[in-house]
Structure 1
Amino acid sequence: MPAPSPTDVRMLQRAPCAGLRPFVQQLIVVECVADVRDSHLPDTASVLAFSFRERCRLDDGRAVPTVAFTGLHDRLRSHEHPRGHGLALAKFTPVGAAALLRPPQDEFAGTTVDLDDLAERDCGTQRLLEQLAVAADAAARLDRLEAYLLHRLGNARPDPLVAAAIGWLQRAPAGARIETLSRHIGLSQSALERRFRRIVGVTPKKYASTLRLERALAAYRPGIDLAGLALAAGYYDQAHFNHDFRRATGRSPGAHFGTT
């Protein structure tokens, strides 16, 4: 699916302040000036989104909640945004969402849920929506979102063992085994997997698989050799990359990127 035209969408994104960086990768404001259909490939970040004007729909036709949390997805998903839709998003670090939303994160994997259903919405959330709607510009909206998240997180701290496991997986060479990670962390493999799923939403193995695919997608450029791309991202060969890509998107890399 082609990306939306830059003339159809206005977007501002920035890194969060130092106090949020252990929890949030990026703050984003998106405003649609036309009807837009977009698609999102699998990645390793969960997202909290505030629709301050209009609402979008998921690819199954359901309206997205006004305040929606999306857990880690390992499949392609799409949204339909009406003209005038405005939303502010926080894209979390792998350990960040668990500090904000208390239930185990594996409850949210592959889903988009209403914050009201989690008993997490309060008067501050409604006040944020009102502030986002009347803010002078996108930069002011990011300021409001940042202040809200700082307040909600309070004195929270990321889980140190899971944060260490994430760092190990991000640095690990191709073929690194979860047993090796368990020894590095100092937990049994079953204890590590339970803790990792509760904080991140998926097992270490699933996270590593999604991370490989995310790296390959980020590195893609027109004309690039897909076999070399697969190896650089940590796959054994192009066949493994093709398999993971087809499982996530329903089509081959060549078909997705328009090279076949």
Structure 2
Amino acid sequence: MKLTEYQPTSQLRPFIKAYRIIESDDEIINRVVPGTSFALAFRFKGQIAYLDKNNKQTLPSATFSGLRKTVRLINYAPKTAALIVMFTETGASAFFKLPIFKLFEESVSLDNFFRQSEISSISDQLAETEKFEDMITLIEKFLSSKLLYYKPDNLVIEAVNRIHATGGSMRINKLTNDLCISQDAFEKRFRKVVGSSAKQFSGIVRMNEIISKTPSLESLSTIALDHGFYDQPHFNKEFKLFTGLTPTAFFGAASYW
């Protein structure tokens, strides 16, 4: 599997974190742990499917995925390639009129949001384009045409920054008190912009913070307690939901991104 990353142009930089082009000559299963970015995937060669226990769900050529708290196993058929748009944490809502928080734990065809003829045209053009740089230009033109009038919600942006600064361990009631806003009003604004509740978002940040430390199994209990897990069984349950594996299996041999 080969992964090539490109940065967005200045116009789209407030909304797009990066573009990734994934190529796989052989059949592989990729483990994708939850992240804090919505993703838009354009498959331009081969076939991609989600694996769920014994089920295999083939994905459409253009798929829009919300935030998740559970791992995804993605099967790439031989000779498969896709272009992934990774949105910034407050960027996806600038392109979609429908409430994006309804996509939590969901992946849907992009034609739920835009015309099927338009999606088919983009997919066909990608399949016929040889240079990756030209593909990025094509996708940026498409995204720019879908950019709605956008006024940044600075309060939500500040909340996201504070959640990251505390590794996802900041209590939401303290966050709302510090930002001088009621919890109900805050949650409505946060869900609208980010696509999840603040608690769900904090949970994703917290678990990624723990994983990024690549702790030894001996230190894992201490790190889990430091990040707000009240006991080891509770942490183990959440960890397996998040990664699909026990801590021992995940840190021992897991390949993921």
With structure 1 as the length reference, what TM-score do the two structures score? Answer: 0.84
Unaligned segments of structure 2, at least 5 residues: none
The Cα shift of 1:71 comes to: 0.4
Find the counterpart in structure 2 of residue 92 from structure 1: 87
Letter in 2 for 1:79: I
- 1:70 corresponds, among 53, 65, 73, to 65
Find the counterpart in structure 1 of residue 242 from structure 2: 248
CA distance in structure 1 between the aligned counterparts of 2:200 and 2:133, rounded to whole angstroms = 35
Specify whether residues 125 and 182 from structure 1 end up closer, same or farther in structure 2 by C-alpha distance, changes over 3 A only.
same
The Cα shift of 1:187 comes to: 2.1
Find the counterpart in structure 2 of residue 165 from structure 1: 159
- 1:211 corresponds, among 189, 201, 205, to 205
RMSD: 2.6
Specify whether residues 173 and 226 from structure 1 end up closer, same or farther in structure 2 by C-alpha distance, changes over 3 A only.
closer
2:143 counterpart of 1:142: no
Count of residues in Structure 1 that have an aligned counterpart in Structure 2: 249
Render the CA deviation track for 1:19-76: whole Å, top value 9, x for unaligned.
2222111111112211111111111111001111233111131111111101001101
Letter in 2 for 1:68: T
Specify whether residues 220 and 190 from structure 1 end up closer, same or farther in structure 2 by C-alpha distance, changes over 3 A only.
same
Letter in 2 for 1:99: A
The Cα shift of 1:12 comes to: 0.9
- 2:111 corresponds, among 105, 112, 116, to 116
2:97 counterpart of 1:102: yes
Specify whether residues 121 and 185 from structure 1 end up closer, same or farther in structure 2 by C-alpha distance, changes over 3 A only.
farther
Render the CA deviation track for 1:211-233: whole Å, top value 9, x for unaligned.
0111222332788943465477x
Residue 23 of structure 1 contacts residue 158 of structure 1 at CA under 8 Å; is this kept in 2? no
The Cα shift of 1:160 comes to: 2.7
Residue 16 of structure 1 contacts residue 24 of structure 1 at CA under 8 Å; is this kept in 2? yes
Unaligned segments of structure 1, at least 5 residues: 1-8
Find the counterpart in structure 2 of residue 54 from structure 1: 46
The Cα shift of 1:195 comes to: 1.9
Q: Secondary structure at the match of 2:108?
A: strand
The Cα shift of 1:165 comes to: 1.6
CA distance in structure 1 between the aligned counterparts of 2:23 and 2:168, rounded to whole angstroms = 39
Q: Secondary structure at the match of 2:36?
A: coil
With structure 2 as the length reference, what TM-score do the two structures score? Answer: 0.85
